[in-house]
Chains A and B, each alone.
Chain A
Amino acid sequence: MSEPKRYDVVIVGAGAGGGVAANVLTAAGKRVLLLERGRWLTFAETGRDHLRNQRMSLYGHNAGPSADHPRVVEAPNGQTRVVLPWQDGYQANAAAVGGGTPVYGGQAWRFHPKDFRMATTYGVPEGSSLADWPISYDDLAPYYEAVEHALGVCGDAGAMTHLPPYRRDYPMPPLPLTRPGAIHRRGAAALGWPTLPVPLAINSMPFDGRPACIRCQHCVGFMCPVDAKNGAHNTFITRAIASGKCDLVTDAMVERVLMRDGHATGVSYFDANDHRAVVEAEVVVLAAGAVETARLLLHSGFTNDNIGRNLQGHVYVGAVGLFEEEVYDGLGPGVTTATTRWSHDNDGVIGGGMLADDFIVLPAIFWKRYLPPGAPRWGLAAKHWMRDHYRRCSEIKGPIQDIPSPNARVTLDPSVKDRWGIPVARLSGTTHPESIRTAQFLHAKAVEWLKASGAIEVWGEPPQAPFLSGGQHQAGTCRMGDDPRTSVVDPQCRVHGTDNLYIADGSVHVTNGGFNPFLTIMALAYRTAEGIAQRW
C-alpha cells in the first residue's frame, strides 16, 4: 500500500449533508476529500423508467444503490430476511453523487419551531424516546436562509405564517398554480384553513446559470431533463470541486473510521477496483445517511448504545378524491399547495403534519396505489376505469412527525456481509404507536380537505399498526444531545468522546419534523461545517 493521502477533512457520503459540508469547508480554505459509494448520474443514463425509480422501485432503481448493498430486515417475531435495495423494508435512498437529491421532489421545508421542542410541548409517551433538540429553530434559521439562497428555492416567505418572519424572501417566486392546486386552495379557504405555496428546490426562473423548470410530468423519482432541479450534485458539490480544493472519489465504499485515543485519524475504504485505501485527515465527517452512518460507526467499534436507535422517517398519510370534472392539467411538478394548519396544537394527539397536493402521479403508480376498493382489476372494465378516472383524481398527502422509538434500530447483522466483507445493516423495530394515532388524525384532515375541494368520492385508509419508517427521509440514528448517555453527537454534531469526528446527515435529527427533511439536513450540515472550519 502506498503512503496514505492526507486531507484537512474527509467526508463520507456526497449527499445533501456531505455536499453542503464540502462546499462550506472548501470555501473556508480546507482541503477536502469527498468519498461516495455511488456515481455521477446523468438524465440520459437514469431515464424515465416508470417501474424502476425511487418513486416506485418494483424492479430496481435508476439511481442506486445496487444489489451490492443488501440489508437484513428483522420482523417483530424475530424472523429475518435479506433484502435488496428495491425490496420491501430496505429503507432505500438513492446512492449517487448528490445522494437522493438528483431524483428528489425538492420540497424545501424548514422545520416548525415546535418540532425542536417536542418533549417540552407534548411530554414523553411511555416507550418513546421523544426528546427536545439541544438547539432551537432560531439557531438554525440563518442556515436555512443560507441554504435557500445557495441551493435555489422557489416559494413565498410571506405565506409561511407558521414560522417566525423570514429575513429574506426566497430567491425565486413560486411556480404557477395548477388546476388541482387552485381547486384545493378554494377547498381549504372554505374550511378556513390557511394554505401556502410549497417551497421547492426547483427553478421557477433561470437561476445560477441553469434554466427554469419546463413543467414536465416526471419530477420526483427522476433527474431533471433541463437541470432546473437543484440538488447537492449541481450546486454545493459542483462549487466545492470548482474551488480546486475538493477531490471527489466515486465508487468508494468506506469500511471504517480509523480511531486512536478518541481521535479520528482517517478512514479506510474500497475503491472502484475493490482495492483497500487509507486516507488520513484532521477531521472526519460522516454523511452516509441514517442507516449507513450508524452502520459505519458500529463497524468502526463505537459502543455507545444509542448508535442506530430511534431510526425514523415519516409515516405518510394520503387520500384520493374523485372529482366530477377533469382536474389533471399535466403541469409538473404538480405539488403546489400545502397547509400547515395541522402541524401542531391538535387535540388528543402528539404533533401532526403538513398536508399538500401531490406531484403528478405516473399512470403505473396510479394503478398500483390509487385505486379505490372494489375497482375492477382486469378486463375492459379495468382499462376503461383508468381511462375515465385518471384525470379526475387528485390526492392530498403528507408526512406526520414520527414519534420515535428506541427499538426502531440499526444494528450490524451477525452473519450477512456485503461483497467487501462488511457486516450489513440489520433493521428492526417500529415507530411508536403514537405515530399511528397522529397519522389517523391527519388522514381525517386530508379527507376533509378533499371533500371541501369538491371531491364526490374519497378513498384511502390511514395506517392501522406501527411499522418501521425511514426510506428517503431516514433520520435519528445518531441523535444530537448534551448527554452521551442519551445521545450520540453533541450540539455541534461532534460524536461524543471524540474530538474530531462529526456527523452531517439526518442521523443527528432528534425528531424529524412533520415535513420533508432535506433542507434541515443541509442547514445543519452548513452549521456543522462552519463550526469545523472555525475550530480546526
Chain B
Amino acid sequence: MPLTPQQIATLNAAADRIIPPDDESPGAVASGAAARLLAMLDGDLSVMQRDYAAFLTQLDLEAQVAFGAPFAELDAERQDALLSTFQPSAFFRLFAEHVHEHFWSSKAGMRLVGFEVRG
C-alpha cells in the first residue's frame, strides 16, 4: 500500500523537524531529501512501507490527542515536543537516519558543510 496523502504530509513535516530549514540553508523538504526518502519507500525501502505507514499514523494520532490537530498542522515547537516523546523508539531513530542519509548526500547538505565537488 502506498502512503496516503496525509501520511506523506506527516512524513514531510516530521522530516523538516529532523533537518529543519533555517536562514542559512534548506531543510529536509526543500533540499529534496524527504522526496528521495519517499521515492525509496516505493523502491529500496519498500519492505518498510508498512512500518512507515504505522509510524506516521501513530504520530498523527498522538498529535490529535495532545493538540487536537494533525501533526503537519502543528507549529514547530509542538511538533518537536511530540517527536521528543518518540525519541526512545527504534523506528524514530531509523527514520531520522533515513532523513539524514538523504540530506547529507544532497547538494544542500554538502554545501552546508563546505564539501565542494571538483571534477
Measuring CB to CB, which residues of chain A are less than 8 angstroms from any residue of chain B?
Answer: 48-51, 58-60, 214-218, 225-226, 328, 330, 332, 362-364, 366-368, 377-380, 382-383, 386-387, 390-391
Contact = CB atoms under 8 A, between A and B. Distances in A.
A216 B44 contact: no
B61 interface: no
B1 interface: no
A51 B113 contact: no
A386 B27 CA distance: 14
Contacts of B114: 328, 330, 390-391
**Which of B99, B102, B113: most chain A Cβ within 10 A?**
B113
Given A225-B119, A226-B119, A50 B105 contact: yes
A84 to B, nearest CB: 11
B115 A383 contact: no
13 contacts: A51-B105, A215-B119, A226-B119, A363-B109, A363-B113, A366-B104, A367-B104, A368-B100, A378-B96, A382-B100, A383-B20, A386-B112, A390-B114
Nearest to B93: A377
A250 B105 CA distance: 32
Contacts of A330: 114-116, 118
- Going nearest first, the 8 A-B pairs with the smallest beta carbon separation are A50-B105, A216-B119, A390-B113, A364-B104, A363-B104, A59-B44, A364-B105, A378-B18
Contacts of A225: 119
A134 to B, nearest CB: 44
A363 B83 contact: no
B51 interface: no
Nearest to B117: A217
Contacts of A382: 18-19, 100
B101 A368 contact: yes
A383 B103 CA distance: 10
Interface of B: 17-20, 22, 24-25, 27, 40, 44-45, 80, 83, 93, 96-97, 99-102, 104-105, 109-110, 112-119
Nearest to A332: B118
A378 B113 contact: no
A386 B116 CA distance: 15
Nearest to B45: A59
A378 B17 contact: yes
Nearest to A50: B105
Contact of B101 (A51, A214, A226, A378): A51
A182 B93 CA distance: 38
Contacts of B102: 51
Contacts of B116: 217, 330
A86 to B, nearest CB: 10
Contacts of A218: 117, 119
B118 A380 contact: no
Given A59-B44, A364-B101, A366-B104, A377 B96 contact: yes
B115 A390 contact: yes
Nearest to A328: B114
Nearest to B28: A383
Contact of B118 (A216, A328, A363, A368): A216
A379 B20 contact: yes
Contacts of B104: 50, 362-364, 366-367, 386
A60 B104 CA distance: 18
Given A330-B116, A378-B83, A387-B113, 13 more contacts: A48-B117, A58-B101, A59-B40, A217-B116, A218-B119, A363-B109, A363-B110, A366-B104, A383-B22, A386-B109, A387-B24, A387-B112, A390-B115
Contact of A363 (B17, B20, B105): B105
A368 B104 CA distance: 10
B105 A217 contact: no
